[in-house]
Amino acid sequence: MAEVNTGGGKKSSPRVDMTPMVDLGFLLVTFFMVTTTFSKPMVMELGMPDKNNPTKDNMKIKESRAITLILGKENRVFYYTGTGQDAENTHIEVGYFNDGKKSIRQALLRRKQEVETNPNLSAKEKSDGMVVLIKPDEESNYKNVVDILDEMKICDIHIYAIVDISKPEKDMIQSVAVE
C-alpha cells in the first residue's frame, strides 16, 4: 500500500527519463558508423598480351609515337622518347610521382601533345595517340606500377603495355642514378 501513499507521483510516472537510453543508442550508432566500411575496394582492369601466342597482339610501333617509362627505386621514373632501339642516342630523364616540376604526368602530357600534333603521323595514328612502354625494374614496388597505370588513365592514354626491362636499360638507369 506504499504505492498509494506516493499517489502524487503516479501522475508523473508516464514520463520516463529517456536520457540513458538515448546515450546508449547514440553510443551504438557511433560504434556502427565507425566500423562500417564505406570504402569498397575498386578494381582496375589489366589486360596483358597473350604470351603463348605472341603473334596475335604483336604490333610494330613507330619510334615517333612511343615513350618508354622505366620504374626505378625510390619512386623514380626514368623516361625517354622512342622504344630504345638505339640505346646510345637516347636521352634519359627522371620524373617523379608528385605534382611538382618534374612530375611524370607533365612529361606524359607533353609527349602526348607532341604525338597528336606530329605532322608525319597518319590521322589514325594521331587519334590512337601515343604508345607507352612501362618497364618496371626489380627495385620498383607495386605501388609504382599501379600509380603509373593510373597515370595512363588520368592522361587518357589508351595504348600501353607492361614490358620486361632489358639489360642495356638497366645500365642506363644505373648511370643516371649515379649523377
Separation in Å, CA 134 to CA 29, 32, 79, 92: 47, 43, 9, 14
**Residue 116 interacts with another protein (CB under 8 A): yes or no:** no
Which one, of 48, 86, 43, 44, lies nearest residue 163 by Cα? 48
* SS3 call for 71: strand
Residue 42 near residue 56, CB atoms below 8 Å: no
* Nearest-angstrom CA–CA distance, 179 and 176: 5
Stretch in the footprint of another protein (CB under 8 A) among 39-47, 76-84, 88-96, 116-124: 39-47
**Residue 37 interacts with another protein (CB under 8 A): yes or no:** yes
Closer to another protein by CB, 21 or 168: give it.
21
* Nearest-angstrom CA–CA distance, 17 and 8: 18
Stretch in the footprint of another protein (CB under 8 A) among 48-56, 58-66, 88-96, 117-125: 48-56
Residue 131 near residue 158, CB atoms below 8 Å: no
Q: 575498386: which residue's cell?
A: 42
Stretch in the footprint of another protein (CB under 8 A) among 14-22, 78-86, 125-133, 168-176: 14-22
Q: Which three cell numbers stand for residue 39?
A: 570504402
Binding another protein (rule: CB under 8 A), the pick from 63, 74, 93, 150 is 150
Binding another protein (rule: CB under 8 A), the pick from 39, 55, 58, 122 is 39
Stretch in the footprint of another protein (CB under 8 A) among 60-68, 81-89, 110-118, 135-143: 135-143
| Contacts of another protein in 55-114 (CB under 8 A) | 71, 99, 105
Binding another protein (rule: CB under 8 A), the pick from 85, 127, 141, 166 is 141
Q: H or E stretch including 78?
A: strand 76-81
Q: One-letter amino acid identity for 176?
A: V
* Nearest-angstrom CA–CA distance, 86 and 97: 27
**Residue 142 interacts with another protein (CB under 8 A): yes or no:** yes
The contact set with another protein (CB under 8 A) reads 15, 17-19, 21-22, 25-26, 28-29, 32-33, 35-37, 39-52, 71, 99, 105, 136-147, 149-150, 153-155
